[in-house]
Amino acid sequence: MKKQKTRDHIVEAADQLFYQQGYEHTSFTDISDAVQISRGNFYYHFKTKDDILDAVISARMDKTRKMLAQWELDGSTPQGRIECFIRILITNRDKILNYGCPVGTLTTELAKLNHASREEANALFTLFRTWLEEQFILLGRSKDADDLAMHLLARSQGVATLASAFHDAKFIDQEVAQMCDWLNAYMPKE
Amino acid sequence: MKKQKTRDHIVEAADQLFYQQGYEHTSFTDISDAVQISRGNFYYHFKTKDDILDAVISARMDKTRKMLAQWELDGSTPQGRIECFIRILITNRDKILNYGCPVGTLTTELAKLNHASREEANALFTLFRTWLEEQFILLGRSKDADDLAMHLLARSQGVATLASAFHDAKFIDQEVAQMCDWLNAYMPKE
DNA sequence: GATTTTTTAGGATGCGTGTCCTAATATTAA
DNA sequence: TTAATATTAGGACACGCATCCTAAAAAATC
């Protein structure tokens, strides 16, 4: 099946372009140029542009789930796992400086467009949210686990937005350090 | 001069629409419908769509400057003034729940579009940043005043993004309370 | 090698867009 | 009232867009 292969290429290219240029501002031509495929050939793989968006979101969900699963292996303690989350800002620093947070910018754009896939994009946030919540529960904070998860999500989100606006890498490092301090000071050592 | 009047109407309508729908997604027709003006008449007031954007940004700068000046009067202490900033999230809660932060979402969009007015939009952030910095200096934190300003900006930004994604008003209230606590606990009482 | 199926290329179509032009109307000045 | 100017309306224009169609090419099957 060659179909699946080119389909994957399309999704991958669209994923990048949607992140870098935004969904609406990315045209079929942009994607076909990136994949080196004729524009007309698209319809064979995807009926509409919205379908590509759904495929991209779905792919991001899978990738995120795998990443979270990996963190479960990397970090032996809940603190360590949460720290993995905090440190994505550093791992993806360059991209974030240029294009912001992929989750935040997409949900924001789709909200403005009042797009049908708005909620599906939000599910990406929910994925992180519930995962973080679980970690905080493991830390014995079951009462406010969700609040803490939202708090951390919001801080990461804000850091990405500001760092991107001012193209300030140092700011990312500072805030990541602060969040780690917050995590260690605030949480009970076990 | 009737010209100035309709020009102001155009800028006001464009301001709202750019906020609610995004810059790119708002067409000349959208604006002319809102202002009740023929589409062709636009060119008499603005040469290009980009010119409208510049005018909108400029208007927002003026409005922001006035708001900051007002806060200088409202809050007798630097803490009080900073608290004014934190509480915009509550003042504009409904709009934020629906459309996010006007500054953050615009700069994010223009960054993706690689738009010429990107930097001018960022100046809105800088306006808040330097104003907050001044307040922290007045509090005797001249060494890390800018860091604190950026920290607070980022947190507000993150709160707006998450609250909008999850349409969660309670989250705004919680985080605003936390930021006020942080401000009062962290800062020296005088 | 022949035939069927899968995959592709490239252009046609209709629509919305920003932009621009020109003639009509309203407003002001003489 | 008349003449000059300021403001408007509405349509023309070229372009890019998502979409759709059809015939050619490639691949797979027999």
Q: What is the pLDDT of residues A101-156, one digit of tens each?
A: 999 999 999 999 999 999 999 999 999 999 999 999 999 999 999 999 999 999 99
Q: What is the pLDDT of residues B101-130, one digit of tens each?
A: 999 999 999 999 999 999 999 999 999 999
HEC readout, A100-169: CCHHHHHHHHHHHHCCCCHHHHHHHHHHHHHHHHHHHHHCCCCCCHHHHHHHHHHHHHHHHHHHHHHCCH
pLDDT band at A76 (very low <50, low <70, confident <90, very high): confident
A171, pLDDT greater than 80: yes
To probe the interface with B, which of A112, A150, A170 has the most B CB atoms within 10 Å? A112
CB contact under 8 A, B112 and A125: no
A188, pLDDT greater than 90: no
pLDDT band at A190 (very low <50, low <70, confident <90, very high): very low
Looking at residues B136-145, what average pLDDT do you find?
96
CA B151 to chain centre: 16
Count the Cβ atoms, other than its own, within 10 Å of residue B150. Answer: 24
Near-strand C residues (CB closer than 7 A): A 1-3, 6, 37-41, 43-45; B 2, 26-30, 39-40, 42-43, 47-50
Q: Using an 8 Å Cβ cutoff, are B155 and B146 in contact? A: no
Q: What is the pLDDT of residues B24-54, one digit of tens each?
A: 999 999 999 999 999 888 889 999 999 999 9
pLDDT band at A2 (very low <50, low <70, confident <90, very high): confident
- The pair of three-digit structure tokens given for residue A8, joined into one six-digit string: 């994957």
DSSP result, B5-34 = HHHHHHHHHHHHHHHHH-STT--HHHHHHH
* Distances from the Cα of B3 to the Cα of A15, A145, B45, angstroms: 45, 56, 8
B1, pLDDT greater than 80: no
Protein A43 CA to nucleic acid C14 C1', in Å?
A: 17
Looking at residues B54-74, what average pLDDT do you find?
96
B190, pLDDT greater than 50: no
| C-beta pairs of B14-20 under 8 Å, 24+ apart in sequence | B14/B52, B14/B53, B14/B55, B14/B56, B15/B56, B15/B59, B15/B60, B18/B53, B18/B56, B18/B106, B19/B95, B19/B99, B19/B102, B19/B105, B19/B106, B20/A112, B20/B98, B20/B99
Q: What is the pLDDT of residues A8-29, one digit of tens each?
A: 999 999 999 999 999 999 999 9
Closest nt to residue A29, judged CA to C1': D17
B173, pLDDT greater than 80: yes
Nearest to A165 by CA among B16, B30, B111: B111
DSSP state of B76: S
- In order of their start, the domains of chain B are 48-185 (1.10.357.10)
pLDDT band at A45 (very low <50, low <70, confident <90, very high): very high
Q: Which helix (H) or strand (E) holds B97?
A: helix B93-99
Q: What confidence score (pLDDT) does residue A86 get?
A: 98
- The pair of three-digit structure tokens given for residue A123, joined into one six-digit string: 């599910």
Q: Which of the nucleotides in strand C have any atom less than 7 Å away from a protein CB atom? A: 6-12, 16-22, 27-28
Q: What's chain B's average pLDDT? A: 95
Task: Sort out which chain A residues have CB atoms less than 8 A from B158's CB and list them.
Answer: 153-159, 161
Q: What is the pLDDT of residues B161-170, one digit of tens each?
A: 999 999 999 9
Q: What confidence score (pLDDT) does residue B36 get?
A: 94
Q: Which residues of B touch A (CB under 8 A)?
A: 20-22, 24-25, 99-100, 104-105, 107-109, 111-114, 122, 125, 147, 150-151, 153-159, 161-162, 164-166, 168, 171, 174-175, 178
pTM for the structure as a whole: 0.95
Q: What confidence score (pLDDT) does residue B26 get?
A: 98
